[in-house]
Amino acid sequence: MAKVDFYVLQQTGEAAKLRFACRLAEKAWRLNNTVFIRTADRQHAEQLDELLWTFRDGSFVPHEIFEAGGERTAPVTIGCEVPDPGDADLMINLCEQVPTDLGAWPRVAEVVTADDDCTRLSRQRYADYREQGHSLDTHKL
């Protein structure tokens, strides 16, 4: 079972969610973790790819967009097609649904903004994770 952390932000909007995902990925990478950031589609993956270069002055997070069937070569990968976790340490889920293939992922991070829809959908994911027996924790930021 995975350990699932919900990071509840006071800010609203997709931009706040993406910036936090960048910060979380950077922190995990600096702690020598490998990270996969799951996005809803290719457009969101490309948007996050660009943001990882610019979200903070002086920041460098080695990353790449994951292509289905390809291999992960960077410590941080982004994509809508979930790779085999291999030795990955963390999945940051930016999608509205619980990933169906959680079994091999040791940790999952959910980023929740103060938007009504985001909060409602995250409560449903929380219930789904709990039903599946995952270990849950909430961090109000």
Confidence (pTM): 0.94
Q: What is the CATH classification number for the domain harbouring 37? A: 3.40.50.10110
Q: 77-104 pLDDT, tens per residue? A: 999 887 777 778 999 999 999 988 777 7
Q: How many structural domains is the chain composed of?
A: 1
CA–CA separation, 43 and 137 (whole Å): 30
User: Which residues, listed in sequence order, are joined to residue 65 by a DSSP beta bridge?
Assistant: 78
Domain that holds residue 14: 3-140
CA–CA separation, 39 and 81 (whole Å): 8
Q: Give 3-state DSSP helix, strand, coil % of the chain, rounded to 5.
A: 35, 25, 45
What are the angstrom distances between the C-alpha of 66 and each of 17, 41, 69, 73, 122? 20, 12, 9, 9, 25
Residue type for position 83: P
Each residue's pLDDT, cut to its tens digit, for the chain (141 residues) gives 899 999 999 999 999 999 999 999 999 999 999 999 999 999 999 999 999 998 988 888 999 998 877 778 899 999 988 777 777 899 999 999 998 877 778 999 999 999 999 999 999 999 999 999 999 999 999
CA–CA separation, 29 and 89 (whole Å): 10
